[in-house]
Structure 1
């Protein structure tokens, strides 16, 4: 019996030792490939962990973003490495630097000379070489002027207010007449596509609209006003709700950039060719920027002027989302009519939420829309 136990202990010791060696070796591969290859410059990199070979830190990223609290991804880095605002990592197939506090994010998004777009390869392949995600800044500026003229500025947007109101009124009336609950998120997506197809195609044929919506959903999974802004008006209340919703939801968790040259920010090196992940969520849930950041508090926007770079639901800099003003107008008009005339009864309030590719309730907000008599 004693000999058997000794042999068993030896086998377990060998297995444990082999595991430790293999584990340690695998954990060092990315460090050797991407960090050690920088030579002396590696000492200027920000703190962080390059993860496993090939997958890097994607497993931990996906695990956290499929949980009920995706913000622990950045909180854990702050807890482990300190509030440096910059962390080296390996995500989306590339060595990367996460920037997560107001000052560092603002510097990256405002600097087109040293940073270009850095979207993952899958995004570039799906959207094409000539898409806004891939073209250089000079071409981007030219195409942006041509394509966004219909949806930028108060004069341009005012042309669509009546049409948007008509869609909102008709949609709410239709939803409230249904006996069965609706998936509100899907219905709102269809409402958005009606507006977009009207502006850019001039009509809203159901077959075309349905096809566009389906392609958009597939692509998204493959990748990634007339309001009266015066206290006392329904729109004033709605606008605060809009800003707080955009902050708390952080629909786009980060913006992708790539260093064109070696860049030094706050004493840390971002090597040429490395991706830079501007972590929007990190700013929106930063307690040093927003008090009680995880609470939904529309009143925080009362007489509040955000610091430059502290509110990034549509990005910032020259690549800010061109549809930002149109999106705010649509939301404002919808909330105006909804808050005044309707109530929402969720079937599963407080149900689970998924955060990839976009934050949403698992049941797409299954609910009944009821008209206030």
Structure 2
């Protein structure tokens, strides 16, 4: 018995020593092997490195203390130890562009493992190689087919009007909640053909909200934790989507109004497996819900502190409405193409607000760039926020100034709100259409003021601390 206890102690001590040694080697060995060639910087504490400092919350229209400090000390490209890995952080537009354009060749998408657990192995957000290529090609095809279709545009406008009509007897609204309600109803209708009144819609919404809470939680799969509940919610959403797919196949001649959605087209795609189709639906819900609603909130927030931009936006939409034969006529694709200043406002909200701060990549081989080395296997983080807010790349970078886009090309290396290369967000055009149509009716029918000081905070996911509370006042015909 005594001998057995001794061996147990030895095994425990050996395990602890082995684990400690692996941490030390993981932390310091990269420095010893490549130390003189990699960018300057510091690794911080063993295991955790500088992760907590990097993720410290800050206003999304600032770079935060960590990046400000490190860029001033080491330059726009530096090394660190983040997310349990030696890391090269890039705040340089040339390197960021190089990374994004060489996806699958020199770099590869590399999100932390817990993200894979909650999104699923074949999610387009984490998939790599041929799987990602197939999913993305389908997404681009669907967006191209959909974005100018009258049915899609009419759905957006109808849902926007319905949301805004519900404000008429309310002195204040929590705008982030209203924006999420709008984007969820739009994306569920477009992807699955479901209206807000149908039972499946409320079931998906309940599970989807659980899923979203887990996506930004501590990744511990322990029963009862937000992460564990999110994984279970994803499974339930998958089951619901599979049931809808089976019903479509059993009843292909059902309600004809549901036959112009993503799912109907997906069913005829033979390049995706059943699991990939279900995952594609979940990715569409995620992208169309959270990021689009956040963009809407940022636009409304920044317009509230820029009355000149709001007035010009209002005049643009009044002119578009005045050209319609009847006041109640639907907006169409030709109307959307006339919303030039609206696009400037949206682009500036994306630049100034920074929905996506950075993305995760990994070097597939040793890479030399501008005289320094990015070692194979190291994590690489292209930071978009730092470029968007850099006054050497954008004049008046610390101001919301939509007029910059009258002369500045949004398709440039220093503006990457949706990423770039083969992983550029395929749904960005749809998001802009939704925001534009909602703004068309908002600016003509309501005045608003933010109730209290609120601003978008990067955690690094971005949200408004108080949900962006607005005091709203319907416009009369004489004040429009």
TM-score by length of 2: 0.65
Report the Cα distance in structure 2 between the residues aligned to 1:54 and 1:299, rounded to whole angstroms. Answer: 45
Counterpart secondary structure, 1:44: coil
- Preserved CA contact (<8 Å) 2:393 2:414: yes
Report the Cα distance in structure 1 between the residues aligned to 2:182 and 2:207, rounded to whole angstroms. Answer: 13
Report the Cα distance in structure 2 between the residues aligned to 1:272 and 1:44, rounded to whole angstroms. Answer: 13
Counterpart secondary structure, 2:66: helix
Report the Cα distance in structure 2 between the residues aligned to 1:141 and 1:257, rounded to whole angstroms. Answer: 17
- In structure 2, the residue matched to 1:97 is 88
- Preserved CA contact (<8 Å) 1:98 1:279: yes
- In structure 2, the residue matched to 1:114 is 106
Report the Cα distance in structure 1 between the residues aligned to 2:161 and 2:154, rounded to whole angstroms. Answer: 11
- Preserved CA contact (<8 Å) 2:61 2:398: no
- In structure 2, the residue matched to 1:294 is 398
For residues 327-356 of structure 1, what are the alpha-carbon distances to aligned partners after superposition, in whole Å with 9 as ceiling and x for unaligned? 1111111111111221112211x3354312
Report the Cα distance in structure 2 between the residues aligned to 1:303 and 1:32, rounded to whole angstroms. Answer: 48
Counterpart secondary structure, 2:361: strand
**How far off is 1:268 after superposition?**
1.3
Q: 1:307 to 1:191 in 2, by over 3 A?
A: closer
- In structure 2, the residue matched to 1:200 is 191
- In structure 2, the residue matched to 1:16 is none
- In structure 2, the residue matched to 1:4 is none
Q: Compute the RMSD of aligned alpha carbons.
A: 2.6
Report the Cα distance in structure 1 between the residues aligned to 2:150 and 2:463, rounded to whole angstroms. Answer: 30
- Preserved CA contact (<8 Å) 2:44 2:50: yes
- Preserved CA contact (<8 Å) 2:60 2:354: no
Report the Cα distance in structure 1 between the residues aligned to 2:109 and 2:446, rounded to whole angstroms. Answer: 43
- In structure 1, the residue matched to 2:58 is 65
Q: 1:357 to 1:100 in 2, by over 3 A?
A: closer
Does 2:127 match 1:135?
A: yes
- In structure 1, the residue matched to 2:9 is none
**How far off is 1:274 after superposition?**
0.7
**How far off is 1:131 after superposition?**
1.5
Paired residue for 1:318, among 409, 418, 422?
422
Q: 1:353 to 1:163 in 2, by over 3 A?
A: closer
Counterpart secondary structure, 2:73: helix
- Preserved CA contact (<8 Å) 1:258 1:275: yes
Report the Cα distance in structure 2 between the residues aligned to 1:226 and 1:129, rounded to whole angstroms. Answer: 37
Does 2:359 match 1:366?
A: no
For residues 58-103 of structure 1, what are the alpha-carbon distances to aligned partners after superposition, in whole Å with 9 as ceiling and x for unaligned? 2212335379954333222221113xx3111111221111111110
Q: 1:64 to 1:134 in 2, by over 3 A?
A: closer
Does 2:349 match 1:245?
A: yes
**How far off is 1:298 after superposition?**
1.0
**How far off is 1:276 after superposition?**
0.7
Q: 1:365 to 1:213 in 2, by over 3 A?
A: farther
For residues 276-299 of structure 1, what are the alpha-carbon distances to aligned partners after superposition, in whole Å with 9 as ceiling and x for unaligned? 101010110111110121111111
TM-score by length of 1: 0.83
- 1:2-17 paired onto structure 2 within 5 Å: none
Does 2:44 match 1:47?
A: no
Report the Cα distance in structure 1 between the residues aligned to 2:211 and 2:144, rounded to whole angstroms. Answer: 22
- Preserved CA contact (<8 Å) 1:229 1:239: no
Counterpart secondary structure, 2:344: helix
Q: 1:67 to 1:130 in 2, by over 3 A?
A: closer
- In structure 1, the residue matched to 2:215 is 220
- Preserved CA contact (<8 Å) 2:55 2:460: no
Counterpart secondary structure, 1:261: coil
Paired residue for 1:168, among 155, 160, 163?
160
Report the Cα distance in structure 1 between the residues aligned to 2:451 and 2:65, rounded to whole angstroms. Answer: 28
Report the Cα distance in structure 2 between the residues aligned to 1:357 and 1:213, rounded to whole angstroms. Answer: 21
Does 2:184 match 1:189?
A: no
Report the Cα distance in structure 1 between the residues aligned to 2:140 and 2:336, rounded to whole angstroms. Answer: 24
Q: 1:31 to 1:306 in 2, by over 3 A?
A: same
- Preserved CA contact (<8 Å) 1:226 1:329: no
Report the Cα distance in structure 1 between the residues aligned to 2:212 and 2:202, rounded to whole angstroms. Answer: 16
Report the Cα distance in structure 1 between the residues aligned to 2:474 and 2:334, rounded to whole angstroms. Answer: 22
For residues 307-326 of structure 1, what are the alpha-carbon distances to aligned partners after superposition, in whole Å with 9 as ceiling and x for unaligned? 62211111100011121111
- Preserved CA contact (<8 Å) 1:193 1:209: no
Q: 1:123 to 1:192 in 2, by over 3 A?
A: same
- In structure 1, the residue matched to 2:205 is 210
Counterpart secondary structure, 1:52: coil
Consecutive unaligned residues of structure 2, counting only runs of 5 or more, are 1-23, 220-289, 291-331
- Preserved CA contact (<8 Å) 1:220 1:357: no
- In structure 2, the residue matched to 1:11 is none
